[in-house]
Amino acid sequence: MNSSAGIAPTGETVVIEKPVLGAIIDRLWRDGYTVVGPTLAESAIVIDQVRAIDDLPIGWTDEQEAGMYRLRRREDRAYFGYAVGPHSWKQYLFPPKTTLYSIEFHADAMTVKPNVDPVPSYAFLGVRSCDLHAIEIQDRVFLHGPYVDRHYQARREKALIIAVHCAVAASTCFCASMGTGPRSVRGFDLALTELEGEFLVEIATPRGAAICDGIPSRAATGYELGAAARIVDKTRDSMKRSLNTNGLPDLLYQNLEHPRWDQVAERCLSCTNCTMVCPTCFCHALEDVPALDGASSEKIRQWDSCFNPDHAHMAGGNNRPDIRSRYRQWLTHKLASWVDQYGVSGCVGCGRCVTWCPVGIDITEEAAAIRGDQQ
Amino acid sequence: MTMTTMQSTSTADRTVRRAVLPDDDPFLPRPAFVTEIRGETPGIATYRIEFADPDRAAQYEYEPGQFNMLWMPGIGEVPISIASARDEGPGILHTIRATGRVTNAMAKLKPGSPIGMRGPYGRGWPLKQAEGRDVLVVSGGLGLAPLRPVVLALLANRDRYGKVVLMHGARTPKDLLYDYEYESWGKHGIETLITVDRGDVAWRGRVGVVPVLFNRISIDPVRTLMMTCGPEVLMRFAVAEAVAREIPEGWIYYSLERNMHCAIGLCGHCQLGPDFVCKDGPVFDHSQTARFFSREHF
Tell me the per-residue pLDDT of B96-140, one tens digit each, with 9 for 90 and over.
999 999 999 999 999 999 999 999 999 999 999 999 999 999 999
Inter-chain touch A337–B274, beta carbons under 8 Å: yes
Enumerate the residues of chain B whose CB falls inside 8 A of the CB of residue A333.
271
Q: Has residue A134 got a pLDDT over 50?
A: yes
Enumerate the residues of chain B whose CB falls inside 8 A of the CB of residue A311.
259, 269
Enumerate the residues of chain A whose CB falls inside 8 A of the CB of residue B258.
312, 314, 319
Inter-chain touch B271–A329, beta carbons under 8 Å: yes
Mean pLDDT of chain B: 91
Enumerate the residues of chain B whose CB falls inside 8 A of the CB of residue A340.
273-274
Inter-chain touch A109–B262, beta carbons under 8 Å: no
Distance between CA atoms of residues A238 and A235, nearest Å? 5
Query: Could you report the predicted ipTM of this complex, rounded to two decimals?
Result: 0.91
Interface check for A244 against chain B (CB to CB < 8 A): the answer is no
Interchain CB contacts (distance < 8 Å): A and B = 154
Residue-level pLDDT at B57:
94
Q: Which residue of B has its CA nearest to A147?
A: B264
Select from 2.40.30.10, 2.115.10.20, 3.40.1280.10, 1.10.3720.10 the CATH code of B30-121: 2.40.30.10
Q: Across the interface, which of B27, B259, B273 has its CB nearest the CB of A314?
A: B259
Q: Kindly indicate the confidence band of residue B294, based on its pLDDT and cuts at 50, 70 and 90.
A: confident
Q: Report pLDDT digits (tens) over A43-91.
A: 999 999 999 999 999 999 999 999 999 999 999 999 999 999 999 999 9
**What is the percent of chain A with per-residue pLDDT over 70, rounded to a whole number?**
97
Q: Has residue A1 got a pLDDT over 60?
A: no
Residue-level pLDDT at B291:
87
Inter-chain touch A297–B74, beta carbons under 8 Å: yes
Residue-level pLDDT at A374:
77
**For chain B, domain boundaries:** 30-121, 134-289
Q: Has residue B47 got a pLDDT over 70?
A: yes
Q: Across the interface, which of B232, B269, B273 has its CB nearest the CB of A337?
A: B273
Q: Kindly indicate the confidence band of residue B174, based on its pLDDT and cuts at 50, 70 and 90.
A: very high
Q: Kindly indicate the confidence band of residue A317, based on its pLDDT and cuts at 50, 70 and 90.
A: confident
Q: Which residue of A has its CA nearest to B297?
A: A320
**What is the percent of chain B with per-residue pLDDT over 90, rounded to a whole number?**
87
Average the pLDDT over A126-151 and give the result. Answer: 96
Q: Has residue B20 got a pLDDT over 50?
A: no
Residue-level pLDDT at A165:
97
Q: Which residue of B has its CA nearest to A103?
A: B73
Q: Kindly indicate the confidence band of residue A111, based on its pLDDT and cuts at 50, 70 and 90.
A: confident
Average the pLDDT over A10-31 and give the result. Answer: 93
Q: Report pLDDT digits (tens) over A266-303.
A: 999 999 999 999 999 999 999 999 999 889 999 999 99
Enumerate the residues of chain A whose CB falls inside 8 A of the CB of residue B8.
108-110
B30-121 against B134-289: fold identical: no
B134-289 folds as Rossmann fold (3.40.50)
Which A positions 282-301 lie with beta carbon below 8 A of chain B?
282-288, 290, 294, 297, 299, 301
Inter-chain touch A312–B269, beta carbons under 8 Å: yes
Q: A321 to chain B nearest CA, in Å? A: 7
Q: Count the neighbouring beta carbons within 10 Å of the beta carbon of residue A314.
A: 17
Q: Has residue B188 got a pLDDT over 70?
A: yes
Residue-level pLDDT at A222:
94
Q: Kindly indicate the confidence band of residue B60, based on its pLDDT and cuts at 50, 70 and 90.
A: very high
Residue-level pLDDT at A261:
98
Range in A161-175, A225-239, A296-310, B5-19 with the lowest mean pLDDT: B5-19
Which A positions 101-130 lie with beta carbon below 8 A of chain B?
101, 103, 105, 108-114, 116
